[in-house]
Amino acid sequence: MAAALPWRRRETKKIANYRGLSFTTEVVQQLVVPTFVLDAEGKVIVWNKACETLTGMASGEVLGTRNHWRAFYGIERPCLADLMVEDRLEEIDHYYPIYHQSLEVAQGVHTENWCVMPLRGNQLYLEIDAGPIRDEEGNIVAVVETLRDMTLRQSAESRLRTMFECSPDPVWIIEDGRFVECNDSAIHTLGYASKDQFLNTHPSQLSPPVQPDGEDSYSKAERMMALARDKGLHRFEWIHTRADGSTFTAEVTLSVIDLAGRQAIYCAWRDISDRKRAEDALRLYAKVFENSGEAILITDRSNRIIAVNQALERDSGYCPEELLGKDPRVLSAHKTPRETYQLMWAALRESGYWQGELWDLRKDGMIYPKWAAISAIHDAKGELTNYIASFTDISERKAAEARIDHLAHHDALTGLFNRYSLENRLAQSLLAARRENQQLAVIFIDLDRFKVINDTLGHHVGDLLLIEVANRLSECVRESDIVARLGGDEFVVTLTSLANDMDAALVAKKIVATLGDTYEIDGKQLHTTPSVGISLFPANGEDVDTLMKNADTAMYHAKEKGRNNFQFFSPAMTAAATERLELERDLRSALANSEFELHYQPQVCATQNLVRGVEALIRWRHPERGLIPPLKFIPIAEETGVIEAIGTWVLNEACRQMAAWRQAGFDLQHVAVNLSAHQLRSPDLVSQVQAAIAHFGLSPGELELEITESVAMEDPERAIGQLRALRDSGVELAIDDFGTGYSSLAYLKMLPIHTLKLDRAFVRDIESDENDAAISAATLALARNLGLRVVAEGVETEAQRDFLSSHACNLLQGYLFGKPEPADVLSAHWQGSLSMPRRATN
């Protein structure tokens, strides 16, 4: 290199020979730039003021010597000017890491260097320029060296350089479309050993031929750089190739910078392969989430919905906007048991996972079951962040299960229970009946001559007939009763919580009637009749087998009795039931046939032995059965509603008789008439009573109405209302059979009544039972305090009469004074009797 330098010294001449030197030294002396000059022998001939200031060395110390190095270095070494004077230019690069021939015109050299500056005690970064002064022949006569303190700039630059070098992101400088500089990270990222391997290359040379968008790398790189130059800053994604041929995605930022007056591009990369991979994965997960056949729902830590997928929209009928931010509870049908939710949260807390069945409500109002799997999601620190729930609609599975279950428990043809279910359910019902002390009936039904229909008209018709029979059977019983088909033409009905045997007879009768009706099947009119057998729990058996067997036996009795009828397992019961059903039938026509009559029983004043009133008691004179007492037919009349008409008849008949007695001059104070529960409920009662009183001209108090304690207690509010209205009509009111129910005197106080009728059961035991005596005495005392009249029922003995009259009972009624008898019998008896006072007739 030195050989090529143009300022090579040709010949050394004496300084004195050069005339221009003194002028030069004079100029240098005046320069504000630190400068010194060496003569051809390397001795300092000028050391200007600025140089003194910079170095701390006085010119007097150095002029004429070769010691100027002491101003710069701690050990002896040549300065730039020395190398030039001594023609050792080839050593410059040994002493100065940075140098170049920047002063070509002046044939000078530029270097930069850190100098120790021993006299100042601090390092300086000096820019050093040295230039020769030549004589006419071109010989160097002196060398001028100028110094510039660049310490400050250098430290700023070195900091920037450090930043550039140490940046974890790969950084490049591009000039004229070529990489001219890069940091270590760039080298490593690309997988090269040194930057020399690719400096001066175009960016497209470190890239695949084509970028993902299809544009070829060269023209795209040019376009990107142009954009950066345009805008000053440009960011984009770029695929790079590593030394080994592999590629990676970088996010590239190009910014335009000024490098010593030249425009360059500062290019920073960030390898975003990981981010891209994560983004790709996320995109994939999002697709999976969206396209999953399972409904998925994600909530935040406080269980607010933050995402739902399409399947959930489809299953629930809600769009995401309607769900986001809400509690998943909005989907619930409120049918899932509370415990399920409790178990669910417990499991999520403990194991972070739960699965099970939930009931949801679609937007359209449909309830559907779903299988749910819920996971709690935690972050790296173990904090709960989300819940993810996936659901499958299991309506169909449930429906299939239900179908299978139904098939297992039901008769396929009729849909009734099969034998298996019947036996199970009957066993359950028996447990309940035993526990609750109730009766239960098993009714066997066999269709008469079904085989004939089946054989002559075919199975198809037979099947349709059986289906119709099943339908009619189901209509004969309550929801809670069991209807089953055992097979063939055999059916069983089980009646639970039976009030009495008659209920079973009534249902059996209904079954016989209903199944005996004409059938319209396949356009044909068919007839069949059933034979029905009944066994009762507990009377005819306590277990399933016995009850079934006995009902079957009873059914055979029905067949023997000519079919188309029902039979109880015990013949006595069949007789009772038959009688009852006949009574029911006859009762409907009894009123029209004038088969009822009223008998009257006297009520006697305890102290004076005088008849004061009578109680009207109904009798049914049955054309075949003779006189039937009320307890035998009143309940039937109640059940069938016939009581309404009977009650009206009794009321009018009693009023008529009362008026007749008064007319005849008997001083009777009142007639008592019994009211049934049915009558008390009737909204017409008050007007009926008023009409009767008015019609027969009875005075207030001449009619007394008796309501049993239990009837009054049935619906107290209503009873009080009705009774008030009756009392306001001038009617006396009595509580019948007092002491058999649960009513307290405190309660009775609220009823607008005048009379208490002490039940026969108390009176009967007054003599023997001290308890009853005490209760009767207390009741009498209390009634008196309440201002009530007391009538004792069923007084049969003198002792009873004595007890009652000594306890101030007002009236006594019982066989001791007379049985209930027809009005004319009583009238005859009273005629001239002292016990029946006569009115003063006028």
Would you tell me which residues interact with ligand C2E (CB under 6 A)? Answer: 601, 617-618, 629-631, 634, 650, 674-676, 706, 736-737, 760, 793-794, 796, 813-815, 820
Query: Other C-beta atoms within 10 Å of 258: how many?
Result: 8
The smaller minimum CB distance to ligand C2E, of residues 183 and 813, is found at 813
The smaller minimum CB distance to Mg ion, of residues 111 and 813, is found at 813
Torsion sign over Cα 213, 215, 220, 223: negative
CB of 678 to ligand C2E, least distance (A): 8
The smaller minimum CB distance to ligand C2E, of residues 250 and 795, is found at 795
C-alpha atoms less than 13 angstroms from C-alpha of 346 in its C-beta half-sphere:
6
611 membership: H or E segment, kind and range: strand 611-622
The smaller minimum CB distance to ligand C2E, of residues 113 and 708, is found at 708
The token duo for 591 is 């009123």
User: Residue 151 class from Cβ within 10 Å (0-12 exposed, 13-18 middle, 19+ buried)?
Assistant: middle
CB of 725 to ligand C2E, least distance (A): 19
Query: Other C-beta atoms within 10 Å of 293: how many?
Result: 11
The smaller minimum CB distance to Mg ion, of residues 507 and 756, is found at 756
Residues 774-833 that bind Mg ion (CB under 5 A): 793
Q: Which does 193 bind (CB under 5 to 8 A by kind): ligand C2E, Mg ion, none?
A: none
The smaller minimum CB distance to ligand C2E, of residues 13 and 619, is found at 619
474: alpha, beta or left? (left if phi > 0; alpha if psi -120 to 50): alpha
Contact 248, 195 (CB under 8 A): no
∠ CA(370), CA(376), CA(381), 5° rounding?
170
CB of 557 to Mg ion, least distance (A): 40
Q: Which does 630 bind (CB under 5 to 8 A by kind): Mg ion, ligand C2E, none?
A: ligand C2E
CB of 592 to ligand C2E, least distance (A): 18
As a three-state string, the secondary structure of 162-191 is HHHHHCCCCEEEEECCEEEEECHHHHHHHC
Pick from 69, 78, 130: nearest CA to 100: 130
Q: Which does 496 bind (CB under 5 to 8 A by kind): Mg ion, ligand C2E, none?
A: none
Q: Which does 629 bind (CB under 5 to 8 A by kind): Mg ion, ligand C2E, none?
A: ligand C2E
Q: Which window, 360-368, 492-500, 701-709, 742-750, contacts Mg ion (CB under 5 A)?
A: 701-709
The token duo for 140 is 């160097």
Hey, what amino acid is at 118? P
Q: Which does 794 bind (CB under 5 to 8 A by kind): Mg ion, ligand C2E, none?
A: ligand C2E
Query: Other C-beta atoms within 10 Å of 49: how many?
Result: 14
The smaller minimum CB distance to ligand C2E, of residues 300 and 796, is found at 796
Q: Is 468 in the site for Mg ion (CB under 5 A)?
A: no
CB of 568 to Mg ion, least distance (A): 32
DSSP 8-state assignment for residue 216: B
Q: Which window, 37-45, 202-210, 295-303, 730-738, contacts Mg ion (CB under 5 A)?
A: 730-738
Q: Which residues pair with 354 in a beta bridge?
A: 374
The smaller minimum CB distance to ligand C2E, of residues 46 and 642, is found at 642
The smaller minimum CB distance to Mg ion, of residues 653 and 737, is found at 737
Q: Which does 105 bind (CB under 5 to 8 A by kind): ligand C2E, Mg ion, none?
A: none
CB of 590 to ligand C2E, least distance (A): 13
The smaller minimum CB distance to ligand C2E, of residues 86 and 796, is found at 796
Q: Which does 820 bind (CB under 5 to 8 A by kind): ligand C2E, Mg ion, none?
A: ligand C2E
Q: Which window, 259-267, 667-675, 770-778, 798-806, contacts Mg ion (CB under 5 A)?
A: 667-675
The smaller minimum CB distance to ligand C2E, of residues 446 and 793, is found at 793
Q: In this structure, what are the phi and psi dihedrals at residue 629, rounded to the nearest 5 degrees?
A: -70, 155
Q: Which does 614 bind (CB under 5 to 8 A by kind): ligand C2E, Mg ion, none?
A: none
The smaller minimum CB distance to Mg ion, of residues 39 and 706, is found at 706
# residues near Mg ion by CB under 5 A: 5
Contact 729, 686 (CB under 8 A): yes
Contact 692, 652 (CB under 8 A): yes
The helix/strand/coil state of 628 is strand
Q: Which does 472 bind (CB under 5 to 8 A by kind): Mg ion, ligand C2E, none?
A: none
The smaller minimum CB distance to ligand C2E, of residues 490 and 597, is found at 597
The smaller minimum CB distance to Mg ion, of residues 316 and 800, is found at 800
Cα–Cα distance measured from residue 164 to residue 727, given in angstroms and rounded to the nearest whole number:
114
CB of 613 to Mg ion, least distance (A): 12
Q: Which window, 174-182, 534-542, 653-661, 702-710, contacts Mg ion (CB under 5 A)?
A: 702-710
CB of 719 to ligand C2E, least distance (A): 15
CB of 501 to ligand C2E, least distance (A): 21
Contact 90, 68 (CB under 8 A): no
Q: Which does 617 bind (CB under 5 to 8 A by kind): ligand C2E, Mg ion, none?
A: ligand C2E
CB of 464 to ligand C2E, least distance (A): 48
The smaller minimum CB distance to Mg ion, of residues 203 and 820, is found at 820
Q: Which residue has the tokens 């960011």?
A: 235
DSSP 8-state assignment for residue 840: P
CB of 454 to Mg ion, least distance (A): 58
The smaller minimum CB distance to ligand C2E, of residues 34 and 820, is found at 820
CB of 537 to Mg ion, least distance (A): 33
CB of 830 to ligand C2E, least distance (A): 18
As a three-state string, the secondary structure of 552-599 is HHHHHHHHHCCCCEEEECCHHHHHHHHHHHHHHHHHHHHCCCCCEEEE
Q: Which does 815 bind (CB under 5 to 8 A by kind): Mg ion, ligand C2E, none?
A: ligand C2E
Residues 377-396 that bind Mg ion (CB under 5 A): none
CB of 754 to ligand C2E, least distance (A): 16
User: Pairing mode, if any, of strands 670-674 and 703-708?
Assistant: parallel
Measured CA distances, 364 to 312, 333, 361, 371 (Å): 14, 12, 8, 20
Measured CA distances, 294 to 70, 170, 288, 340, 362 (Å): 87, 45, 10, 21, 16
Contact 362, 317 (CB under 8 A): yes
Pick from 18, 38, 34, 5: nearest CA to 143: 38
Q: What is the DSSP string of 96-131?
A: -SEEEEEETTTTEEEEEEEE--TTTTS-EEEEEEEE
Cα–Cα distance measured from residue 412 to residue 172, given in angstroms and rounded to the nearest whole number:
85
Q: Is 674 in the site for Mg ion (CB under 5 A)?
A: yes
CB of 661 to Mg ion, least distance (A): 19
Residues 706-725 that bind Mg ion (CB under 5 A): 706
- The set of residues, in sequence order, having a beta carbon less than 8 Å from that of 654 and lying 6+ positions away, is 598, 616, 671, 673, 703
299 membership: H or E segment, kind and range: strand 295-300
Hey, what amino acid is at 472? R
CB of 677 to ligand C2E, least distance (A): 9
Q: Is 736 in the site for Mg ion (CB under 5 A)?
A: yes
Torsion sign over Cα 561, 564, 568, 572: negative
Q: Which does 469 bind (CB under 5 to 8 A by kind): ligand C2E, Mg ion, none?
A: none
The token duo for 9 is 């010294």
CB of 749 to Mg ion, least distance (A): 21
Q: Which does 220 bind (CB under 5 to 8 A by kind): Mg ion, ligand C2E, none?
A: none
The smaller minimum CB distance to ligand C2E, of residues 390 and 676, is found at 676
Pick from 464, 443, 460: nearest CA to 528: 464
DSSP 8-state assignment for residue 331: G
Cis peptide bond prior to 118, omega within 30° of 0: no
Cis peptide bond prior to 837, omega within 30° of 0: no
**Out of 52, 481, 702, 737, the residue judged to bind Mg ion by CB under 5 A:** 737
Give the interface with Mg ion as residue ranges (CB under 5 A): 674, 706, 736-737, 793
